[in-house]
Structure 1
Amino acid sequence: MPTATWKIGRSTGICALTEQPLGPGDQVVVGLFEDAGVEGYLRRDHLGTAWEEAYGDQKPEGCVAHWLRVQPDQEAPRGAVLDPETVLQLCDALGQREDAEAEAFRYVLALALLQRRVFRQLRMEQIDGRDCLILAQKGMPDATPRRVIRPLLTEEDVARIAAELAEVLDGEL
Structure 2
Amino acid sequence: MLLVLGSTVLGATVVAASGSTTGYWAVRDDVKQGDPVERADLVRADAHVSGAAADQLMAVDEPLPERLGSLVWARDLRGGALVDQAALASEATAHVAELPLSVSAGAAPADLQRGDRVDVWVGPGPGDDTGIESARVLRNVRVVSTGGRTSSLEGSAARTVLVDVSGVELDGDVVSTIASAHVTMVRVS
TM range (shorter): under 0.3
Pick the structure with more helix per residue.
1
Larger Rg: 2
